[in-house]
Amino acid sequence: MAEVLVYVDHVDGSVRKPTLELLTLARRIGEPVAVALGAGAGDTAAVLGEHGAVRVLTNDAAEFADYLVVPKVDALQAAVAAVSPSAVLVPSSAEGKEIAARLALRIGSGIITDAVDLEAGDEGPVATQSVFAAGFTTKSRVTTGVPVVTVKPNSAPVEPAAAAGAVEALAVSFSDAATGTKVTSRAARESTGRPELTEAAIVVSGGRGVNGAENFAIIEALADSLGAAVGASRAAVDAGWYPHSNQVGQTGKSVSPQLYIASGISGAIQHRAGMQTSKTIVAINKDPEAPIFDLVDYGVVGDLFDVVPALTDEVKTRKG
Ligand SMILES: Cc1cc2nc3c(=O)[nH]c(=O)nc-3n(C[C@H](O)[C@H](O)[C@H](O)COP(=O)(O)OP(=O)(O)OC[C@H]3O[C@@H](n4cnc5c(N)ncnc54)[C@H](O)[C@@H]3O)c2cc1C
């Protein structure tokens, strides 16, 4: 069976969930071979093997942390040369898409970004994308070279599937361009204790209806009761009620969680563009004519200041 390269997103050996989701998709189209780079790369092998990686190619050179994406592109290119895979899968983060685009250019391949599903096809893997502000769903495949596909978080379940996970050293010779952009300092973002917005399985968002920064506490309380991330509409962000890093939409972040709860958000097209591929959508809005109700699975017509705290209490009660 053809091998499929999976680029591993990890922090010091701790593998992030979107990579495990990629392994689920990779198994549909071939045998997953993971590529783990940087400090702790070897520590990823056990969990990658548990989720279907037949081999784990590792290289822990300092260049991966000291410089921006080019060393990683060099390494993936070396892995493509060593494995001759039938496809390369990369998580659809900002960095992942830059790596994937540079790799595709280097190896003369076509690329598909932001896929939300992937299946085997007679002439190569077929990717599903949600395009034009999620107004259309398309299926496409790469016709030139080794397909490079970036996949959005939450596009597939994490499924255990034991495989060898055999660690092999990946030889990489870095190109001149690799050391062109040096990382000069790093500052860790203050942790909220909540999941990363683009990766969260549940997102609770607030909009203009929340009516003030201080009122976002009730959105956060619901999010915390569900173990969710907090999102915000641009109106809420522009008003200074919540950080821009939490904005969902066309000019914010794109999320695709299992559950999206929108409170006091009207459902403008630019907001929908960032959340319409969510699996289950719930809206709380006091206006029964709000456009958001056109796309929801469950809608609650009511005042969010009544509904959201009641929902939080109910979740807490049921969790015991
Ligand atoms: C180029 C461009 C890019 C944009 N990018 C984005 C983007 O990335 N993300 C984004 O979100 N927007 C974006 N916008 C803005 C977008 O067009 C909307 O203006 C914005 O999404 C509206 O935010 P909102 O739904 O919170 O506010 P509103 O449209 O004002 O809606 C507020 C809603 O809250 C309801 N409400 C009020 N009080 C309560 C209450 N007590 N209980 C329950 N419901 C209540 C109201 O009925 C209303 O439906 C963009 C616009 C442009 C032009």
- Per-residue burial over 263-291, b if 16 or more Cβ lie within 10 Å, else e, is bbbbbbeebbbbbbbbeebbbbbeeeebb
The pLDDT value given to residue 82: 97
Q: How far is the C-alpha of 70 from the C-alpha of 175, rounded, in Å?
A: 8
Q: What is the maximum alpha-carbon separation in the chain?
A: 61
pLDDT of amino acid 135: 77
Ligand 1 pocket, residue 209 CB under 6 Å: yes
| Predicted confidence (pLDDT) per residue in 111-122, tens digit | 999 999 999 999
Q: Average pLDDT for residues 126-130, to the nearest whole number?
A: 95
Contact 42, 165 (CB under 8 A): no
pLDDT at 1 over 80: no
Closest CA to 242 of 265, 273, 260, 225: 265
Q: What pLDDT score was predicted for residue 84?
A: 97
- Give the whole-angstrom CA distance, residue 298 versus residue 263: 12
Distance CA 167, CA 224 (A): 38
> What average pLDDT does this structure show over 185-194?
87
Ligand 1 site-directed mutation target among 198, 241, 246, 265, most atoms within 8 Å of CB: 265
Give distance in angstroms: CA of 239 to centre of ligand 1. Answer: 11
Question: 252 CB less than 6 Å from ligand 1?
Answer: yes
Contact between 41 and 59 (Cβ < 8 Å)? yes
How many angstroms separate the alpha carbon of residue 154 from the centre of ligand 1?
25
Model confidence at 39, pLDDT cuts 50, 70, 90, reads: very high
Using a pLDDT cut of 70, give the percent of the chain over it. Answer: 100
Give the orientation angle of helix 70-83 with respect to helix 94-107, to 10 degrees: 50
SS3 289: coil
Residue with tokens 């959005």: 152
* Mean pLDDT, all residues of the chain: 96
For residue 206 and ligand 1, the question of a CB distance below 6 A is answered with: no
Check if 236 has its Cβ closer than 6 Å to any atom of ligand 1: yes
Amino acid occupying residue 88: V
Residue 189: its pLDDT value, please? Answer: 78
**CA–CA separation, 55 and 32 (whole Å):** 7
Q: Which atom of ligand 1 is nearest to the CA of 266?
A: 49
- Evaluate whether 111 touches 100 at the Cβ level (below 8 Å): yes
Confidence at residue 192, expressed as pLDDT on a 0 to 100 scale: 86
What pLDDT does residue 217 have? 98
Residue partners of 63: CB distance under 8 A and separation at least 6: 71, 174, 178, 179
